[in-house]
Structure 1
Amino acid sequence: MHSDAVLYQASALCLTYPDEDLVERLPLVREAAPPLRAFVDHAARTPLPDLAAHYVEVFDFKNRHSLYLSWWRDGDTRRRGMSLVRFKDLYRAYGLEFTGEELPDFLPAVLEFAARTGNTDPLTDHHDGLRQLRSRLSDAGTPYASVLDAVCATLPAVRTGVRS
């Protein structure tokens, strides 16, 4: 098992639409993934309807905080379709079939993939987009930034001058 598997799985939970399942698992996430404590503490003290409204405000109205990794590289272009196919092909190569309601490049799905397989290539390949998302979430002052901080801290540093 990859050393960051628990963090990736917990981060995936934190970055999905908040529901009762999240609320019930917060004590476990707090214990198992210490780097997520800032977010967990915020989520634990925020009423679920307010937490859900904040999630929608942050992630559902603007691509500025897109949780779809291919969007950061491809935008809304034809290239994005091929990127999505590559994600699905990668999942299949590990014997996994992507059946989620979201697209295969949805960050929580990619984090779950990394947690289950130990393959962090999709995260590393999209490190630049993750850093941009983290920066924009930080600028917006949302607690979700701390989740991206924790995820990005597990990835190798990006060398300047090299585009991923």
Structure 2
Amino acid sequence: MDRTFKSLSVILSYPTKELQGAISEISAVLMSDPRLTAANRRALVPLLTELEQDDIYDLQERYVGLFDRSRTLSLNLFEHVHGESRDRGSAMVSLVETYRDAGFDPVTVELPDHLPVLLEFLSTRPLAEAQDTLADAGHILEAIEQRLQGRDSTYAPVFASLLQLSGAKVDQEAVAELMKEPETDPEDLEALDRVWEESEVRFGPDPNAGCPQVRDMLAKIDQPVTPATAAE
């Protein structure tokens, strides 16, 4: 189990009280990973501090405003390359088969291409495979990072960290193409309704199960995430 990928998966998930209670353990993992530069680790501190100390409702509102109200910041990766086309459905089916072949069964109602779900899966795979997968999505990750930087969001360093972990050189032409997509004003509810008027296909077990719980994610970690074990 790669606990850095697991930790990044958790902090990109919808904020909950369980997440807040796990931040010190998550921080220990991230701050001790030599694959991340010192600058990357320092850049993650403001987000980790916010997630641990800020009011949970403020955290949830900011999260929804960022990731759920704009397609250009969607954590559903295929959204950025396929939109609502049939190609997205085919890609989704292929990804589900990849998960099943590896014996991976995420406990979530999120789509298979949801970045936290993908990172949880990658945490169970060999590093080279995880890096190749992240490299394939490198242009998407960088485009999201740039947009988050434009909003002065503390989530931006998470995407910088993923790009560093991938070890890939990103196709800047592909990034530029994604950046042509206009931003959506998260306060313009009528525009948001138009953007999201097509319902999503759910691949999860129960569409009424509510938001994914961090404790379900943490339960799959093979050992407790503590400063002592993180340093080993």
Q: TM-score under structure 2 normalisation? A: 0.64
Tell me the CA shift for residue 21 of structure 1.
Answer: 0.8
Change (3 A) 1:125 1:53: same
Change (3 A) 1:44 1:98: closer
Structure 1 segments unaligned to the other structure (5+ residues): none
The answer for the alignment partner of 1:71 in structure 2 is 79
Separation (CA, whole Å) in 2 of partners of 1:159 and 1:10: 23
Higher helix share: 1
CA RMSD after TM alignment: 2.0
Residues 1:89 and 2:86 are matched in the alignment: no
Separation (CA, whole Å) in 2 of partners of 1:42 and 1:155: 26
3-state DSSP class of the match of 1:117?
coil
Tell me the CA shift for residue 105 of structure 1.
Answer: 0.4
The answer for the alignment partner of 1:113 in structure 2 is 121
The answer for the alignment partner of 1:14 in structure 2 is 11
Conserved 8 A contact 2:66-2:73: yes
Between structure 1 and structure 2, the one with the greater Rg is 2
Report how many residues are paired. 161
Separation (CA, whole Å) in 2 of partners of 1:8 and 1:160: 23
3-state DSSP class of the match of 1:16?
coil
Separation (CA, whole Å) in 2 of partners of 1:7 and 1:97: 20
Q: Percent identity?
A: 26
Tell me the CA shift for residue 97 of structure 1.
Answer: 3.1
Tell me the CA shift for residue 161 of structure 1.
Answer: 7.5
Separation (CA, whole Å) in 1 of partners of 2:3 and 2:102: 19
Conserved 8 A contact 1:110-1:122: no
Separation (CA, whole Å) in 2 of partners of 1:65 and 1:124: 18
Conserved 8 A contact 2:71-2:80: no
Q: TM-score under structure 1 normalisation? A: 0.89
Structure 2 segments unaligned to the other structure (5+ residues): 32-40, 176-232
Separation (CA, whole Å) in 2 of partners of 1:154 and 1:83: 24
> 43, 51, 54: which one pairs with 1:43?
51
Tell me the CA shift for residue 54 of structure 1.
Answer: 0.4
